Structure formats: C-alpha cells, structure tokens
Amino acid sequence: MAKKAAVDVLFVKSKVREYIKSKDCNTSGDVIDGPALNDAIIGILDKAIGRAKANGRKTVQEKDL
C-alpha cells in the first residue's frame, strides 16, 4: 500500500474553532487535529484543479469550486 505524501494543514485551526463556536457548538479535537477536514479541503481543491485543466486552463477559478 502506497503512503500518501504529507500535506501541510490547509486551514487555520483557531478560525475553524471560532466559526463552530459562533454556531453554538463545540469542536472535538479530532476535527482540528485529525486528517478528515484537511482531506475534505484537498478533495475540493483537487476537483477544482481537474475542472480547470479539463477546460484548458491552469488558473483555478471560483466557478471550478
């Protein structure tokens, strides 16, 4: 089984906590420290990159999201 390349965290932990708190909820540590949120963000970005490339562009635009 191939290992995934290590990717830096693509979100600001304090901002995620702040946003969740603003919705009257608490944040579990595994949301912030686990890979699920970062993986979700990477998945969204990878799809947007694929869409941009499929349309002959190297620039990812809002419409690709």
Structural domains counted in the chain:
1
Residue 42 domain-assigned (yes or no):
yes
Residue 32 domain-assigned (yes or no):
yes
For residue 6, the model assigns a pLDDT of 73
For residue 24, the model assigns a pLDDT of 98
Residue 56 domain-assigned (yes or no):
yes
Domain that holds residue 46: 28-65
Residue 3 domain-assigned (yes or no):
no
pTM of the model: 0.83
Residue 51 domain-assigned (yes or no):
yes
Residue by residue, pLDDT tens for the chain (65 residues) are: 455 667 899 999 999 999 999 999 999 999 999 999 999 999 999 999 999 999 999 999 999 99
- Residue 60 contacts residue 48 (beta carbons within 8 Å): yes
- Residue 52 contacts residue 61 (beta carbons within 8 Å): yes
Cα–Cα distance for residue pair 9/20, rounded to 1 Å: 18
Number of C-beta neighbours around residue 41 at 10 A: 14
